[in-house]
Amino acid sequence: LVALLGSDLPIVQAPMAGTTTPELVAAVSGAGGLGSLGASVLEPDELRAAIRRIRELTDRPFAVNLFAPHDQPEPTDEVVAAVDAVLRPVRQDLGLPEPVRERPLVPPDRFEALLEVVLAERVPVFSFTFGIPPLDDLRTVGVRVLGTATTVAEATQLERAGADAVVAQGAEAGGHRGTFAADFEEAFIGTMALVPQVVDAVGIPVIAAGGISDGRGIAAALALGADGAQLGTAFIPCPESAAPPGYKRAVLAAAEESTIVTRVYTGRPARAIRTPLLERLESSGVEPAPFPAQAALLWDFRSAAAELDRPDLLFLLAGQAAGLSRELPAAELVATLAAEAQEALARQQPARS
Ligand SMILES: Cc1cc2nc3c(=O)[nH]c(=O)nc-3n(C[C@H](O)[C@H](O)[C@H](O)COP(=O)(O)O)c2cc1C
């Protein structure tokens, strides 16, 4: 895996759209891991500038990540009205105006324009989730390609499509489920069960993701047959991440049962820290708008969160091992993770001989 990625360590900092910054990516890559920029929320010009900034900060390889192209259905007026009705008392409490809904709620998918930037900038590694985009152009110019799978069948589809490695995302993972060829509930498989079955099924390197937040988890992933580990939540508290201070505090204070998987934030199942807003939407029983329109319906809360310093109004995406996170500069975190993993692997040696 390290030969494929050009990194020193089999540690990947997960792409996290809205949270990863060029500074975070460069710090991780500079420390020998593979930093990844979650770029799906950027405009093409912003992505170009971010890639150039990463290159100013490091000459080590890094990854850019996009959501594979997907349908963006507009919700019906009834669905929008039902969601707004659940939120009305919260808006009134916060003094937020009733939003005026303009159609379309979701702008057209920018995938193609963003992919053009990835190709033109000759990004070293490209990763993706939510499906399988066309990979031929990327492979022609020598970009290494990592796809996300939540089942063995998805992993084998990725291998057949030409992915160079597969990220096996277990149910513990923070953020959106990458599931694209299965029922979400059936594809909700823990990292411990998923990783070895994916390893047995594919011939390409496997990167374990989901619930790994320290070196013990990385060692465990390697023991399961993975070639490396991808960690997201563990990097949220880093000073280089774009998460607001309240989000970082919530991650550091989280316990193992602080998160749930919910569709109420974006319309697609995602693991996040429970908040009163999330619980109100969940307990209402109101069907969320389809992905990503639901996120557009909640957009004013995210702006209000910053203005009112209310992190509980943000989408606090995080995994089940959030409580193991530490507030360390990213390079120091990478070095700590590597040392801890080595220590954990060494502890296993006597048992093996
Ligand atoms: C805040 C946040 C945002 C995420 N955004 C993305 C993304 O843009 N693209 C992607 O492929 N995965 C995304 N993920 C999922 C990660 O790639 C990875 O599967 C996950 O973080 C691993 O679980 P962990 O958080 O327990 O380490 C995100 C995860 C989090 C926590």
**What pLDDT, in 10s, does the model give residues 289-329?**
999 999 999 999 988 998 888 988 999 999 999 999 999 99
pTM of the model: 0.97
Tokens found for residue 296: 């557009």
Q: Are 124 and 6 in contact (CB under 8 A)?
A: yes
Closest C-alpha to ligand 1, atom 6: 16
Ranges of the chain whose pLDDT falls below 70: 350-353
pLDDT of residue 26: 98
User: Exposed e or buried b for every residue in 179-206, given b needs 16+ CB within 10 A?
Assistant: bbebeeeebbbebbebbbbbbebbebbb
> Which residues' Cβ are closer than 6 Å to ligand 1?
14-17, 19, 38, 40, 65, 129, 148, 169, 172-175, 209-212, 230-234, 317-319, 321
DSSP code per residue over 43-93: -HHHHHHHHHHHHHH--S-EEEEEEPP---PPPPHHHHHHHHHHHHHHHHH
pLDDT of residue 270: 98
Closest to 35 measured CA to CA, from 336, 57, 44: 57
> Which atom in ligand 1 lies closest to the alpha carbon of residue 127?
11
For ligand 1, pick from 20, 111, 233 the residue to mutate: most ligand atoms within 8 Å of CB: 233
pLDDT of residue 352: 53
3-class DSSP state for residue 341?
helix
pLDDT of residue 100: 93
DSSP-assigned beta bridge partners for residue 207? 167, 228
Task: State in Å: Cα 95 to ligand 1 middle.
Answer: 32
d(CA 167, CA 190) in angstroms, rounded, equals 13
Tokens found for residue 125: 């590694």
DSSP-assigned beta bridge partners for residue 230? 12, 209
Task: State in Å: Cα 344 to ligand 1 middle.
Answer: 24
Looking at residue 216, its amino acid is R
Q: Are 294 and 264 in contact (CB under 8 A)?
A: yes
